[in-house]
Amino acid sequence: MIRLTAVTNMDLTPLVDNWPRDLTDQVEFTWYRKAEEALPHLGETEGLLTSYRLQDQLLDAAPKLKWVQVSSAGVDMVPLEALADRNIVLTNASGVHSIQMSEHALGAMLYWARRFREFDRSQQEKRWARRVPTGELHGQTVGILGTGSIGKAIAQKAKAFGMTVYGYNRSGGDSPEYDVTLTGQEGLTRLLRESDYVVSLLPKTAETEKLLGLEQFQRMKINAYFINLGRGEVVDESALIQALNEKWIAGAALDVFEEEPLPEDSPFWEMEQVLLTPHVSGNSPHYVERLAGIYYDNVRRFLKGEALRNTVDYGAGY
């Protein structure tokens, strides 16, 4: 029997209550809400399930640790070098956000296309605003930076609205969900120039930090919208603010920022052309249920000595 431990204040009740019968006799699983509660009990732990921030003291207290499963898709705040040095396999929860984040992206596009902000304002003013010009998603092009599970889910929903879908990734690998797949600087330029909506799902890495700056926003259409659901550090925020103020682009829907919580003095708070949400696009009442499916699968693979699902490439950083 192997010992697996969860350390997170996330409510794992759905995961614990639905623990598969085939794993009961093979795994001793314990869940602690706080690190200080777990520390005395990690000596025999081989696998650790934890929230986004992985504390060094947890690693130090677990000398037999072979595998870390994080509950998030992003791993930019996990001590990658320390895990790599100990040859600990790191897996993320890629796939757990696909439904809710794709709905959030389409919701933002509809918000702009159907001019919901203007109609909300007219309702508050009790004004019958029939002359507000509305648009359609049908026939528009959406460019998606990051073609993984979330990007594919957005692409599928966008096609249901009759949109053309461009995908951008590091490898240039094709996927049937995308009408066009692009890569490299030329590919990024084409996507920015031809898209009516640009959605960033990019992780924070050395390659992506401030990838989108003045030059990139100047290449977008003046009636295009930028949506960022990936990482705030991918964007040069001062450049985005300038692009919005000088009307290089029509607007932005921002869920992630360089600094979170967003400072009170940030210009984004008061910009009419910005839809701002506080890093909630991945939230869902079904989050732990979906995480559980990924985790159970990896536990079975771990027991069999098979390759784990969603293994993080330490060199790439995701």
The answer to whether the beta carbons of residues 141 and 152 sit under 8 Å apart is no
Q: How far apart are the two ends of the chain, measured CA to CA in Å?
A: 31
Which regions in the chain score pLDDT beneath 70? Answer: 52
Question: 55 and 175 share a domain?
Answer: no
139 and 62 in a common domain? no
Residue 60 and residue 193 in one domain: no
**In a shared domain, residues 34 and 139:** no
pLDDT number for residue 51? 85
**Same structural domain for residues 119 and 133?**
yes
Look up the pTM and report it: 0.94
Chain position carrying tokens 């979170």? 260
Residue 205, domain extent: 98-276
Catalytic residue IDs: 231, 260, 279
Tell whether 313 is covered by a domain. Answer: no
In a domain, 317, yes or no: no
Alpha carbons 263 and 32: distance in angstroms, whole number:
32
**Do 137 and 198 reside in the same domain of the chain?**
yes
The backbone torsions φ and ψ at residue 68, rounded to the nearest 5 degrees and listed phi first, read -120, 125
How many domains does the chain contain in total? 2
- 167 and 25 assigned to the same domain: no
DSSP for the chain, please give it: -EEEEEE-SS--HHHHHT--HHHHTTEEEEEESSHHHHGGG-TT-SEEEE-SS--HHHHHT-TT--EEEESSS--TTS-HHHHHHTT-EEE--TTTTHHHHHHHHHHHHHHHHTTHHHHHHHHHTT---TTPPP--STT-EEEEE--SHHHHHHHHHHHHTT-EEEEE-SS----TT-SEEE-HHHHHHHHHHH-SEEEE-PPP-TTTTT-B-HHHHHHS-TT-EEEE-S-GGGB-HHHHHHHHHTTSSSEEEES--SSSSPPTT-GGGG-TTEEE--S-TT--TTHHHHHHHHHHHHHHHHHHTPPPTTB--TTTT-
What pLDDT sits at residue 77?
83
CA 173 → CA 154, 170, 224, distances in Å?
17, 8, 26
Q: Are residues 217 and 103 in the same domain?
A: yes
CATH number at residue 87: 3.40.50.720
Same domain, residue pair 132 and 266? yes
pLDDT at site 27:
98
**Pair (156, 38) in one structural domain:** no
Same domain, 73 and 42: yes
Give one DSSP letter per residue of 196-228, joined into a string: SEEEE-PPP-TTTTT-B-HHHHHHS-TT-EEEE
Q: Give me the pLDDT at residue 173, please.
A: 86
Cβ neighbours around 241 below 10 Å, total: 17
Q: Which pLDDT score, from 0 to 100, does residue 52 have? A: 64
